[in-house]
Amino acid sequence: MMIPGKFIKECMPMPSSRVFLVGLDAADKDLIDLWAGKGVLPNFSRLLDNALVGDVDVPRGLEAGCVWPTFYFGLRPGNMGQYDGARLFNPESYEHQSFQPQQDSTPPLWTVLSRAGKRCAVIDAPYHYPVDGINGMKVVDRAGHVPAGGGDFLHLRTHPPQLADEIVQRFGPDPAGGRSSDFFAMDTVEAVQEFVEIYSRRIESKTDMILHYWQQAPWDFFMSVFTEAHCAGHRCWHLHDPDYHLHDAELARQVGNPLREIYRALDRALGRLLDAVADDARVMVYLSHGMGPRHSATRMLDRVLAKLENQTVATRSGWLMDSARKVWRIMPEPVRKPFLGLRNSVTNDGFQPNRAGRRFFEVYANDRTAGVRINLQGRESRGVVTESEYAALCDRLIADLTALRNPESGEPVVREVLKTREHYSGPFLSRLPDLLVTWNRNHAINFIESDKVGRIDAQGLDMQTRTGDHRIKGRFFALAHEWQAQTMARTVNTEDLAPTLAALLGVEMGHGDGGPIPELLQPVPAPLKETLTDNGNLRARGVGHKVKATV
């Protein structure tokens, strides 16, 4: 949806004001509400009291790997093609491949601003690989959740190139050693304590780096993303949630709640940043999406699909694969590289073999929602399903998938199946899965049953490394003198944020599926809203004032 330039120009107070954006990747808004209310997160509590707060919808069915690209480009996945982070399905080879473009085919927010003469700094934008296209500085893979262009190890790259050496000399290397959080053990007191120490130090180091470079130039747009809530959410949920089926009560008794400790470290970082920048810029704190318990049948789905075609299901020995994964995680990168081909051919990432000879098969989407790809003639290199058969086959698959049940809970395994063609559109639609299968996450999914497929289990699949998985709502906090403290009554879309941030700097995005958020561009005094304080007194919200941070 293109928004007329006349609307943007009429809605922009202080177009020359600076914008400072803090991204908190997969920091869960409900956990923040909970812990801020208990006094654990004092700086988030002050944001909740003093900022304009809005909840954000993410692209349906593709929330985990699509939310950040949608934010950068202001485009839904059918119009930009990036739906699973740094990974794409290749219809020629039938394999997944890393997405590593050297240049963007569509300019992201900071490139649009740069072309308009704005000075921009971007640090650790998740899943964004190119380093050029910016009037200023860009840092890729200093301290991300996973590598921006795929793989297992982060490799620092910058614009200008010499900035990488300066960062390492001044702030040291990545405290996590460039490893994805998936490669840390989390089964002993010492391992958990090391994880919390490393990721807390990561947060502190990035905060130091942000504050240093913020002072180096009169930036118009400065953006940095902390990914530690994402890492800890995946790896620590079993220690946070006593109701989770893999909860380790004894380990939790000894180590406490490591997830809460990472949020406390983020809260301290937020306090330092607000004290440094709140008088000089409009501040936005953006929670991309959330985190909750992982109950998923992603990768199990391909076994179901194989059974629906009366094929034999290939499985691997559970104990053997678990042992191999533990060895793989501790291997240094140089040692691991020669074995990548063997590892991929043996595990196939849990998917069934011979995709080219099947009518349909599972592809990556995320753990909340799995993807189904139809082996379509004219799109796949060895497609077998004709276009005239496509719609009926999708309908049949939906009926078969919604008939699946979880024998341990008695409930359906599948919450919904989305036809991608009916929900998304655009020139990159062919990159997306054909069906998006969202799981019923009320109960752990260890087995799947139906009359057609019998009983399917998860033998040989990794169902324990990540115990947390994504929730689908994001949130933003907007803090400036002209923005009154209030909570928006409506939800905005992720694709609305880029055109809004551009408009705040007097620039038209020029493309996109969203539009500027009027509440941020035409600020009006908020009506007073009475709420109960902790001691039972009434408190009125709606009067904005500077946040005094607590460090």
CA of residue 462 relative to chain centroid, distance: 20
Contact 259, 236 (CB under 8 A): yes
509, 521 Cβ separation under 8 angstroms: no
Residue 199 CA to residue 235 CA, distance in Å, equals 12
pLDDT at 323: 53
5-293+470-495+517-528: in CATH 3.30.450.40: no
- Amino acid identity at 172: G
Q: What is the DSSP letter of 258?
A: H
Domains of the chain, residue spans:
5-293+470-495+517-528, 300-462
Phi and psi at 289, nearest 5°, equal -160, -175
Going by C-alpha positions, the residue among 270, 276, 199, 207 that lies closest to residue 477 is 270
Number of neighbours of residue 427 by Cβ within 10 angstroms = 11
Element holding 447 (H helix, E strand): strand 447-450
Residue given tokens 């304590």 in the structure block: 193
First to last CA, the chain: 42
Centroid of chain to Cα 220: 25
Residue 215 and residue 114 in contact, taking contact as beta carbons nearer than 8 Å: no
For residues 360 and 374, what is the distance between their CA atoms, to the nearest angstrom? 4
Tokens of 42: 């004092």
- DSSP assignment, residue 294? -
d(CA 494, CA 56): 6
Give the model confidence (pLDDT) of 93-133 as tens digits. 999 999 888 888 899 999 999 999 999 999 999 999 999 88
249: left (phi over 0), alpha (psi -120 to 50) or beta: alpha
Q: Which residues contact 103 (CB under 8 A, 6 or more apart)?
A: 130, 132, 133
The pLDDT score that the predictor gives to residue 522 is 80
Q: Which amino acid is at 519?
A: E
| pLDDT at position 348 | 43
Phi, psi of 312 (to 5 degrees): -75, 135
Query: Do 489 and 479 form a contact (C-beta atoms < 8 A)?
Result: no
Q: What DSSP character marks residue 333?
A: H
CB 370 within 8 A of CB 376: no
Task: Give pLDDT, residue 413.
Answer: 98
Q: Which pLDDT value is given to residue 439?
A: 98
Helix (H) or strand (E) holding 77: helix 77-80
Number of Cβ within 10 Å of residue 225's Cβ equals 24
DSSP 525: P
Which residues on adjacent β-strands are paired with residue 285?
A: 22, 477
Considering only CA atoms, which of 51, 50, 46 is closest in space to residue 267? Answer: 46
What are the distances in angstroms from CA 268 to CA 52, 177, 273, 330? 21, 23, 9, 31
- pLDDT value of position 327: 55
pLDDT for position 329? 53
Give me the residues of the chain with pLDDT under 50, please.
1-16, 318-319, 321, 325, 328, 333, 337, 340-348, 526-547, 551
- The DSSP call for residue 472 is S
